[in-house]
């Protein structure tokens, strides 16, 4: 038998949770760069532990699964036992999976593992999202297992999600026997070919002797450089065959040497630009979270006094309470954050990727700004916006190098006066704060529900979310004071992410309170994992923001389709006229062995949240029946310029493009086209997809 290795790019992370460019996902060997794997033999180091109040950094956590030198012993065993022993040697403490015929040989020795806990999920997609949640909450590599054919293809969504958001994950799948490959055998699917564009790297293993090396490589690739998912597909005969297990394995990933240390000259050039800039903005992406660079970022903010915007994937990278934090930029970002980017003369982009949800119409984004772009993935730099100073390197190392370089500029008397810039930004921040109106009919405001959950849960709570309105409200109205407390599907926008991701986060950080903020649409995609949680004593809390609709799609239908609500009603009971609740989420929760609660009145909100918080021995589902017509504001319509941001429907701040003016003057666009009157721009839902 032979082993086949398929490589899909250099896998260096961008850090704000984005997919690499086409060049980075090609089948050619990765570009050589500084650092990375050599030809030494490896075994894992000690495994750190994480708590809600003092988690290990992502770098420390991933280092626990980076092999270190040690002599090994040779033992005769099956390939399946070799898989389990390799996972044990890598320090894996939990895997999420669902057995089937092609992976069954591995499940037998897994039963006897003294250190690897297996959590049986109810759907393979749930195992993938659980592995993501575990990885994002702990910084360690998450592991999921599935069988061949539909089991493997059910993992595809989670793998794509991890790829887009740079989550370190290893997916192990069974495959039909090597002799049956290509014959359309029962439950055969070319999962290596299917996942090639959405994995950092993948393998088809047909030789059991290759298993220790492949597993070690997979973990190294998933955790180093730009984190991402790695697929290991093992044929059934390779699992059943006898092999000699030896640890540590020797491997040499020729060409895979991600650059982590930034070039000193580029750092100095960046420091010069920052020191001279009159209107700088620190544009912070998820790479700062992934690299554990929050402390370094705080130091850079202290030295530079520059305003900071944190993307959807970077919420918590700088505390929301920090005076320099303007909030989230982008389609539903704060007016201050969006306008700061537009009016800046220098963008310091750290671990972000200039994605369309932040930039709006790219050609009009930050038209007067020079760009410093620091990223560990060279494929991201200048991909969407040309960088004047490109810096390839890990976010933590890059920011740590920028701090003394900028301080040296200041000591040399080179420091711009930012007082006028801050006066403009403070005026924006005070004039256009994030807010909401209470429904006139006395029903629950979804924003108020989410805000109160955040206030009563505390800064150490881990929040996950589905995708849509509730995701944006959770990003806007919960105050994130620490990194790693906000987990969501940012790049792919996967409905159904919240519950299994919360499950994985709770397993990874058992001392934490974990809330899944979910929509009634998203919740129905993966709520079967409540059974997994109940049976495995995983006490997550789920807040279903129930507006009886696919909320974000309904919002777009209101704004762009004249209120023609085509196929967005879910009949979950948020509107009286809909009659019975289908399903009744309280009864559903109880059927799954969870506590089910419902809140429909504002006066019951705090008591309901407290009742949910008091339950610590099983999962809790709270059906928050909210006003169905609430919308997410501010908003930049997809495909339009960020200059067209509306802080409420039809209300857009007016700015003099030559000089800063009083932003309290507003333009009423309600009589104009719903796309803010720009008849040359593409319609929102047709331009970039509606989102859910």
β-pair partners for 598? 623
Contact call for residues 241 and 78 (beta carbons, < 8 A): yes
pLDDT of res. 649: 87
User: Which stretch of 116-120, 446-450, 676-680 has the lowest confidence by average pLDDT?
Assistant: 676-680
Using only C-alpha atoms, the chain has a radius of gyration, in whole angstroms, of 25
Strand partners, 442: none
End-to-end alpha-carbon separation of the chain, Å?
Answer: 46
Catalytic residues: 124, 186-187, 236, 552
Q: Which residue has the higher pLDDT, 576 or 481?
A: 481
Q: Are 174 and 147 in contact (CB under 8 A)?
A: yes
Banded model confidence at residue 655, pLDDT cuts 50, 70, 90: low
For residue 158, pLDDT beyond 50: yes
pLDDT at residue 478 in the model: 98
pLDDT tens digits, one per residue of 185-228:
999 999 999 999 999 999 999 999 999 999 999 999 999 999 99
Q: Which of 273, 386, 402 is nearest to 350 (CA)?
A: 402
Nearest Cα residue to 262 out of 420, 404, 101? 404
Asked whether the predicted pLDDT for residue 112 surpasses 50, the reply is: yes
Does the pLDDT of residue 143 top 50, yes or no? yes
> pLDDT tens-digit profile of 450-478?
999 999 999 999 999 999 999 999 999 99
pLDDT given at position 509:
98
- Choose between 297 and 678: higher pLDDT: 297
Q: Which residues pair with 346 in a beta bridge?
A: 280, 370
Nearest to 212 by CA among 234, 190, 192: 234
Tell me the two tokens of residue 519.
């929509």
Q: Which residues of 445-478 are buried (b: 16+ CB within 10 A; e: fewer)?
A: bbbbbbbbbbeebebbbbbbbbbbbbbbbbbbbb
The HSE-up count of residue 201 (CA atoms within 13 Å, CB side) is: 29
**256-295 confidence digits (pLDDT tens):** 999 999 999 999 999 999 999 999 999 999 999 999 999 9
The answer to whether residue 334 scores a pLDDT higher than 70 is yes
d(CA 672, CA 38): 61
Task: Spell out the alpha helix ranges (H) of 224-293.
Answer: 236-240, 264-276, 287-290
Could you give the CA distance from residue 491 to residue 161 in angstroms, rounded to a whole number? 7
Query: What is the pLDDT at residue 580?
Result: 82
Res 611 pLDDT > 70: yes
Structure tokens at 156: 């595809």
Percent of the chain surpassing pLDDT 70? 83
Dihedral sign for Cα 94, 507, 466, 9, please. negative
676 has pLDDT over 70? no
Residues whose CB is less than 8 angstroms from the CB of residue 567 and which lie 6 or more positions away in sequence, other chains included: none
pLDDT for 653: 83
**Residue 692 confidence (pLDDT) above 80:** no
Tokens at residue 286, please? Answer: 């998820």
Q: Judge whether 484 and 289 are in contact, CB under 8 Å.
A: yes
Give which of 404, 401, 356 is closest to 374, Cα–Cα: 401
Quick one: DSSP state of residue 161? H
Q: What's the pLDDT score for residue 99?
A: 98
Q: Which of 312, 311, 288 is nearest to 300 (CA)?
A: 288
pTM for the predicted model, two decimal places? 0.88
Q: How far apart are CA 320 and CA 316, in angstroms?
A: 7
What distance in Å separates the CA atoms of residue 211 and residue 86, rounded to the nearest whole number? 8
Give CA–CA dist 122/448, Å, rounded.
33
Q: Are the beta carbons of 159 and 128 closer than 8 angstroms? A: yes
Closest to 11 measured CA to CA, from 283, 196, 205:
196
pLDDT at 47 over 80: no
pLDDT in tens, 351-396: 999 999 999 999 999 999 999 999 999 999 999 999 999 999 999 9
* Average pLDDT over the chain, rounded to an integer: 87
| pLDDT at 633 exceeding the cut of 70 | yes
State pLDDT tens for residues 401-454: 999 999 999 999 999 999 999 999 999 999 999 999 999 999 999 999 999 999
5-19, 501-515, 518-532, range with the lowest pLDDT: 5-19
Sorted by sequence, the CB contacts under 8 Å of residue 493 that are 6+ apart come out as 467, 691, 692
Q: Measured between alpha carbons, how far is 359 from 329 in angstroms, rounded to an integer? A: 9
**pLDDT by residue (tens digit) across 290-326?**
999 999 999 999 999 999 999 999 999 999 999 999 9
* Separation between Cα atoms, residue 244 and residue 74, nearest integer Å: 6
Question: In this predicted structure, what is the pLDDT of residue 387?
Answer: 98
Q: How far is CA 222 from CA 218, 599, 688, in A?
A: 6, 42, 30
The answer to whether 98 touches 146, Cβ cutoff 8 Å, is: yes
- Could you give the count of Cα atoms lying within 13 Å of 271 in the half-sphere of its Cβ? 26
Burial level of 217, CB count in 10 A (0-12/13-18/19+)?
A: buried
| 527: confidence class by pLDDT, cuts 50, 70, 90 | very high
Label residue 661 by pLDDT band (50, 70, 90): very low
The closest alpha carbon to 267, from 348, 335, 210, belongs to 348
Closest CA to 582 of 597, 571, 590: 571
CA distance 541 to 615: 9
**Distances, alpha carbon 311 to alpha carbons 57, 331, 348, 623, 688, in Å:** 20, 11, 13, 29, 18
């Amino acid at each position: 038998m032979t082993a086949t290795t398929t490589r899909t790019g250099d896998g260096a992370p961008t850090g704000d949770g984005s997919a690499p460019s086409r060049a980075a996902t090609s089948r050619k060997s990765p570009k050589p760069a500084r650092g990375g794997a050599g030809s030494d033999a490896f075994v894992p180091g000690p495994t750190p532990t994480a708590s809600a109040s003092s988690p290990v950094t992502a770098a420390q956590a991933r280092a626990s699964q980076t092999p270190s030198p040690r002599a090994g012993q040779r033992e005769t065993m099956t390939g399946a036992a070799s898989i389990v022993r390799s996972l044990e040697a890598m320090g894996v403490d939990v895997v999420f999976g669902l057995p089937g015929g092609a992976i069954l040989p591995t499940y037998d020795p897994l039963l006897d593992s003294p250190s690897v806990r297996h959590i049986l999920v109810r759907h393979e997609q749930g195992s993938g999202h659980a592995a993501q949640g575990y990885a994002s909450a702990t910084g360690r590599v998450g592991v999921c297992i599935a069988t061949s054919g539909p089991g493997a293809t059910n993992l595809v969504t989670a793998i794509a999600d991890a790829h887009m958001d740079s989550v370190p994950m290893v997916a192990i799948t069974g495959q039909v026997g090597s002799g049956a490959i290509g014959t359309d055998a029962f439950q055969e699917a070319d999962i290596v070919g299917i996942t090639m564009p959405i994995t950092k790297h993948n393998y088809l293993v047909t030789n059991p002797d290759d298993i220790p090396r492949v597993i070690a490589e997979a973990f190294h690739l998933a955790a180093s450089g730009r984190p991402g998912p790695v697929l290991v597909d093992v044929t059934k005969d390779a699992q059943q065959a006898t092999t000699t297990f030896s640890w540590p394995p020797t491997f040499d990933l020729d060409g895979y040497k991600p650059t982590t240390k930034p070039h000193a000259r580029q750092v100095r050039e960046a420091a010069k630009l920052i020191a001279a800039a009159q209107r700088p903005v620190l544009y912070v992406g998820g790479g700062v979270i992934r690299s554990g660079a929050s402390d370094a970022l705080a130091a850079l903010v202290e030295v530079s006094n520059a305003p900071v915007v944190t993307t959807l994937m970077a919420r918590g990278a700088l505390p929301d309470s920090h005076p320099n934090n303007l909030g989230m930029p982008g389609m539903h970002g704060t007016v201050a954050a969006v306008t700061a980017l537009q009016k800046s003369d220098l963008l310091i982009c750290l671990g972000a990727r200039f994605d369309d949800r932040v930039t709006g119409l790219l050609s009009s984004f930050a038209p007067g700004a020079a760009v410093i772009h620091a990223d560990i993935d060279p494929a991201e730099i200048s991909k969407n916006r040309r960088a004047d100073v490109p810096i390839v390197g890990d976010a933590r190392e890059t920011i740590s190098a920028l701090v003394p370089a900028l301080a040296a500029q200041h000591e040399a008397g080179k420091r711009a006066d930012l007082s006028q810039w801050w006066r403009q930004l403070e005026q924006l921040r005070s004039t256009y704060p994030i807010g909401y109106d209470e429904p006139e009919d006395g029903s629950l405001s979804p924003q108020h529900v989410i805000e109160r959950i955040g206030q009563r849960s505390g800064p150490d709570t881990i929040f996950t979310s589905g995708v849509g309105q509730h995701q944006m409200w959770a990003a806007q109205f919960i105050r994130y004071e620490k990194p790693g407390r906000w987990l969501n599907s940012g790049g792919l926008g996967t409905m159904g992410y919240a519950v299994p991701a919360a499950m994985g986060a709770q397993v990874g950080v058992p001392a934490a309170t974990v809330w899944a903020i979910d929509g009634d649409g998203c919740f129905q995609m993966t709520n079967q994992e409540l059974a997994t949680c109940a049976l495995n004593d995983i006490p997550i809390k789920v807040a279903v923001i129930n507006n009886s609709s696919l909320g974000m799609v309904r919002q777009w239908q209101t704004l762009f389709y004249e209120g023609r609500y085509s196929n967005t009603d879910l009949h979950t009971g948020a509107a009286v006229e809909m009659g019975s609740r289908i399903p009744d989420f309280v009864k559903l929760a109880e059927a799954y062995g969870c506590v089910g609660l419902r809140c429909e009145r504002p006066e019951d909100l705090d008591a309901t949240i407290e009742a949910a918080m008091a339950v610590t021995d099983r999962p809790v589902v709270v059906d928050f029946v909210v006003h169905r017509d609430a919308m997410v504001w501010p908003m930049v319509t997809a495909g339009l310029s960020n200059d067209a941001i509306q802080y409420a429907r039809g209300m857009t701040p007016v700015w003099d493009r030559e000089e800063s003016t009083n932003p309290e003057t507003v333009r009423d666009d309600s009589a104009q086209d719903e796309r803010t009157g720009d008849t040359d721009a593409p319609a929102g839902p047709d331009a970039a997809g509606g989102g859910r």
